[in-house]
């Protein structure tokens, strides 16, 4: 199977995407797949390269994914001419803006090439935390209390309860997120969030344990991995922004499986499935939730193309459920191939 694997991208999660692609490269079965590595630079230039190594930006040749369905693949520069490279399927190993927000999914829909992951609508919906909260709430899933602030809207700090979190509504890996303890900290936190998105989310600080659930597949009963549990010494979880996450986090420990009862485990997994279905997800996603002391589960966020790095949560949860990285890739790709065009 000829698979186009897209990585990098112009979002703030570029470096994480490259690390995810490097991990995919280690575990991709060469007997089953012929990979075509497509790296997107910070500036948005597309390169067909040998893989996500250290020098791919300098050694790759120009290429574009054609929206013309008769091409059904890439147009790559070769000897001064753009020549077609047919693909059977695309695996967009992209995170954040232009990767999980429906942008690349839209281009793939135009191209007519089957692809891994959620479709345009569910990607865009999950990327916008405020919209995801509204849909989840309509499906009977609890969410933190929140409000949104637009770029031109003033915010009265005296009308809010503290502590709270300020987040870009449409960003990932905790970029632009601040925990605010009092009203004096609010204006600065809003300005930080606005560096990543014009729409800002003001959200209550929920007193709970952070848990996650890896979901894989399509249909009424998708597969789930083991739950994980984040234990914080201080601050909030932001491992992808740390200097050396491969060696461990500065303020967090991730426990897989989560130390919860069998009854709670089943309840959280079923809640994750409900969220996954309600938001129209398919292929794969990581559903992050808050587990309160009384057993109540609230939605935190849904990552429609979660990190696949050596320290990422999604593959670790699947491994704990007995699915190796290579087997996980096979399942993800098989699910996309079976689905065909959307």
Which of 4, 12, 19, 217 is flagged as catalytic? 19
Neighbours of 337 (CB within 10 A): 15
Going from the C-alpha of 1 to that of each of 26, 32, 243, the distances in angstroms are 17, 6, 37
- List CB contacts of 121: < 8 A, sequence separation 6 or more: 102, 280
Point out the catalytic residue in the list 16, 18, 93, 256: 16
pLDDT attached to residue 270: 97
Based on the fold, state whether residues 200 and 211 are members of the same structural domain.
no
Q: Is the dihedral of CA 58, 99, 130, 308 positive or negative?
A: negative
Q: What is the pLDDT, as a whole number, of residue 246? A: 64
Select which of 240, 265, 273, 316 is catalytic.
240
Q: Is 112 a catalytic residue?
A: no
Q: Provide the 3-class DSSP secondary structure of residue 267.
A: helix
Burial classification of residue 218, based on how many CB atoms lie within 10 Å of its CB (0-12 exposed, 13-18 middle, 19 or more buried): middle
Q: Evaluate the CA torsion angle 217, 122, 43, 16 in order and state its sign.
A: negative
69 tagged catalytic? no
- Residues 136 and 150 grouped into a single domain: no
User: Does residue 86 share a domain with residue 129?
Assistant: no
Please give the residue range of the domain that contains residue 213. 124-143+207-339
CATH code of 174's domain: 3.30.1490.20
Whether 307 is catalytic is: yes
Determine how β-strand 223-232 pairs with β-strand 209-216.
antiparallel
How much is the pLDDT for 338? 84
The pLDDT assigned to 231 comes to 87
Say whether both 106 and 133 belong to one domain. Answer: no
The one catalytic residue among 286, 287, 316, 333: 286
Question: Can you give the pLDDT at residue 175?
Answer: 84
What sign results for the dihedral spanned by CA atoms 143, 145, 148, 149? negative
pLDDT at 251: 63
At residue 218, the pLDDT reads 86
Q: Which of 50, 78, 191, 246 is catalytic?
A: 246
What pLDDT score was predicted for residue 248? 62
Considering the candidates 12, 199, 307, 333, report the single residue annotated as catalytic: 307
Known active-site residue 73: no
Q: What is the pLDDT of residue 60?
A: 93
- Catalytic residue, chosen from 12, 311, 313, 314, is 311
Q: Which of 14, 95, 265, 316 is catalytic?
A: 95
Same domain, 88 and 130: no
Q: Are residues 164 and 256 in the same domain?
A: no
CATH of the domain at 76: 3.40.50.20
Domain count, the chain: 3
Distance CA 84, CA 61 (A): 13
The CATH number of the domain where 333 resides is what? 3.30.470.20
- Same-domain status, 281 and 318: yes
Note whether 151 and 107 are same-domain residues.
Answer: no
Q: Which of 185, 204, 223 is the last residue of a domain?
A: 204
Is residue 19 annotated as part of the catalytic site, yes or no? Answer: yes
Q: What is the pLDDT along the chain (342 residues), one digit of tens a residue?
A: 999 999 999 998 999 999 999 999 999 999 999 999 999 999 999 999 999 998 999 999 999 999 999 999 999 999 999 999 999 999 999 999 999 999 999 999 999 999 999 999 999 999 999 999 999 999 999 999 999 998 878 888 888 999 999 999 998 767 889 999 999 999 999 999 999 999 999 999 999 999 999 999 988 889 999 999 998 765 665 555 556 666 666 666 899 999 999 999 999 999 999 999 999 999 999 999 999 999 999 999 999 999 999 999 999 999 999 999 999 999 999 989 987 544
36: tokens are 């075509």
- Based on the residue annotation, tell me whether 235 is a catalytic residue of this protein: no
78 and 131 assigned to the same domain:
no
The verdict on whether 72 is a catalytic residue reads: no
Distances in whole angstroms, Cα of residue 35 to Cα of each of 24, 28, 113, 297, 338: 10, 8, 15, 40, 19
Q: Are residues 254 and 139 in the same domain?
A: yes
**In the annotation, is 246 catalytic?**
yes
On whether both 91 and 19 belong to a single domain, the answer is yes
Query: CB 4: neighbour CB atoms within 10 A?
Result: 25
pLDDT of residue 341: 47
pLDDT at site 155: 85
In this structure, are 301 and 197 located in the same domain?
no
């Amino acid at each position: 199977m000829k698979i186009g694997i897209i990585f990098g991208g112009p979002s703030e999660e570029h470096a994480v995407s490259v690390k995810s692609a490097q991990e995919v490269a280690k575990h991709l079965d060469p007997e089953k797949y012929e990979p075509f590595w497509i790296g997107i630079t910070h500036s948005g230039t597309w390169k067909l390269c040998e893989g996500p190594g250290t020098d791919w930006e300098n050694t790759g040749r120009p290429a574009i994914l054609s929206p013309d369905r008769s091409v059904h693949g890439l147009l790559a520069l070769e000897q001064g001419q753009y020549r077609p490279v047919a693909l059977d399927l695309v695996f967009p190993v992209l995170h954040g803006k232009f990767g999980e927000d429906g942008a690349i999914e839209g281009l793939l829909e135009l191209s007519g090439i089957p692809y891994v992951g959620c479709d345009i609508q569910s990607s865009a919906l999950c990327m916008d935390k405020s919209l995801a909260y509204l849909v989840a709430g309509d499906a009977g899933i609890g969410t933190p209390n929140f409000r949104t602030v637009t770029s031109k809207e003033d915010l009265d700090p005296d009308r809010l309860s503290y502590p709270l979190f300020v987040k870009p509504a449409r960003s990932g890996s905790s970029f632009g997120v601040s925990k605010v303890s009092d009203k004096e900290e609010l204006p600065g936190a809003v300005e930080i969030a606005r560096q990543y998105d014009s729409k800002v989310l003001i959200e209550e600080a929920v007193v709970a344990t952070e848990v996650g659930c890896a979901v894989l597949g399509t249909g009424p009963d998708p597969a789930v991995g083991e739950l994980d549990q984040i234990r914080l010494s201080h601050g909030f979880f932001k491992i992808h922004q740390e200097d050396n996450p491969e060696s461990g986090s500065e303020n967090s420990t991730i426990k897989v499986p989560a130390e919860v009862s069998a009854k709670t485990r089943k309840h959280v997994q079923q809640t994750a499935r409900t969220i996954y279905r309600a938001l129209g997800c398919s292929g794969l996603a990581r559903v992050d939730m808050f587990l309160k002391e009384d057993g109540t589960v609230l939605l935190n966020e849904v990552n429609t193309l979660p990190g696949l790095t050596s320290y990422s949560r999604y593959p670790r949860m699947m491994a704990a459920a007995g699915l190796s990285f290579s087997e996980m890739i096979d399942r993800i790709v098989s699910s996309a191939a079976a689905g065909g065009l959307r």
